[in-house]
Amino acid sequence: MAQLWGGRFTKETDKLVYNFNASISFDQKFYRQDIRGSKAHVAMLAKQGILTEEEKEQITEGLDGILADVEAGKLEITSEYEDIHSFVEANLIDRIGDAGKKLHTGRSRNDQVALDMKLYVRDEIDETDKELKDLLLALQKIMEENVHTYMPGFTHLQKAQPVTLAHHVGAYFEMFRRDRDRLFDIRKRMNTCPLGAGALAGTTYPLDRAYTAELLGFDAPTRNSMDSVSDRDYVIELLSAMSTVMMHLSRFCEEIILWNSNEYRFVEIDDAYSTGSSIMPQKKNPDIAELVRGKTGRVYGALTSILTTMKGIPLAYNKDMQEDKELTFDAIDTVKGCIALFTGMVSTMEFRKDVMEASAKNGFTNATDAADYLVNHGVPFRDAHGIVGRLVLTCIDKGISLDELPLEEYKEISPVFEQDIYEETDVELKTELTNTRAKLEYLQQQSDEKSSLQRRLSDFKKALSHNEVLEEFDRGIFESIVEKVIVGGLDEDGNKDPYKITFIYKTGFKNEIGNAKGRFGKSSGIGDKVKKMCSDISDEVKGVCSDVSLNTCGDGSSFVPTKAR
């Protein structure tokens, strides 16, 4: 049994006790971090004259050799050692002799393990961030390809109003963006170096903790030695953030499971991400989605465990804290694996656009639009609500939808209805206009000086400085939205629709987007693109309406959309 203590003991530790106390079976996972921390510690000791340059070189070469041999499979980490620290130090002494015995000068296992755990968590945050970025890119692609894919929006699992698949998926896009923000916040807050705190009260050696922190990529040393060795807040925060990631994945998986069912038939999951039944040959099961949903509880359990472990621990370090590792390691691996599998599943999933659209049209999702129509014609909303409720009952009795109900039957319930009600209850057109309005509001918000898009991109740049800047990615999203808003001014044949164009023009599209060139820079290409598009829109509007703001035509009559004429 190789361990780093024992001088004051008179007999061997009981084998059962040793095994119960040992952590090598799981803390071997951060052998890279332990060696990296030891190299930085030795470099600092040499800088301070505590070790000679020759000793530093010997130890560093020995540590590099151990790392290389472990990576190559030549050196096995076994249960002969109590923990990863004793494994590294014992092998170092075997290789370089007495110089290896100086590795632990000015250091305790308490601050050493605190450092290793921080380095490991920081590395895993970066890896998880990469997985989330890949998922966001996959969702962005789905959104771009399904701007005109109509589906019912739900509340209480009942059809509510028509939306697009792009808008629906966009909700999850926002969730996973917030997940990345949370990971960045954790990384920033935890990025202080505990090495040099010793067991709990520092050390008498003239250590340069700031130098060690710099070598290891930390912002600064920790400020309180007792907190340094007993802090596991960053583990709790990480597991909390990862529980939220899993909650978001689970919600999306639940919808995919429903959409994959025979009752919905909205999606077809690729064979590579499905399984069959051992007895029912017709079955194609969404097992990956179900497993991701199920593994969410596993990550929640890790969070609950560490919270329970930490709740009664007095200062400073206590052996209970060894329990922070196994469940954290498992939770990290679970989350990364689930994100990767989910990304593959949604990237290969086929959306049945015809089924989605038919479902949107047949579930009275346009009933709210009919009520809005009445309100816009002077009917109080509460009365309009009741009128449309009677319309829905009529349609249910006849087995038809609102846009199939003859005008005379509309008028039997309320004389306010006219031919243009069919324009208002057109699922495709109303969904397009609603999405266009939402996009314009988004653009206006982003151009506001108090929350400018430029500053938002700057925040993203800072947030991702540890990985890679997504400025180009966000710029691509912005360009895509701009293009989709422009497409919103076209009819189903790709021709400009004066009604839609007027709507876009009236809501200030030209003025808001005119700032894009200045905000993004000339190299972005947005300025020239928008300038041409706005010019086209302006010419079209002038050809249709003399006064866009009043929405009247040259002869003074009200402007009427093409489909309602």
Q: Is 277 a catalytic residue?
A: yes
Q: For residue 152, what are the β-bridge partners?
A: 162
Peptide bond into 316 cis (omega under 30): yes
Gap between the Cα atoms of 513 and 537, Å rounded: 13
- Retrieve residue 213's tokens: 């922190």
503: phi > 0 → left, psi -120 to 50 → alpha, else beta; which?
Answer: alpha
- What does the H/E/C string look like for 343-389? HHHHHHCEECHHHHHHHHHCCCCCHHHHHHHHHHCCCCHHHHHHHHH
In the set 156, 549, 557, 558, the catalytic residue is 156
What DSSP element (H or E) covers 173? Answer: helix 165-190
Q: Is 248 a catalytic residue?
A: no
Q: 519 to each of 162, 324, 439, 447, 516, how far by Cα in Å?
A: 34, 46, 18, 9, 5
Long-range Cβ contacts of 4-8 (<8 Å, 24+ apart): 4/82, 4/85, 4/86, 4/89, 4/104, 4/109
β pairing state of 150-155 and 158-164: antiparallel
Among 424, 548, 431, which Cα is nearest to 559's? 548
In the set 25, 79, 261, 277, the catalytic residue is 277
Give me the residue label for tokens 């000793």.
55
Q: How many CB atoms lie within 10 A of CB 167?
A: 21
Residues annotated as catalytic (active site), given as ranges: 156, 277
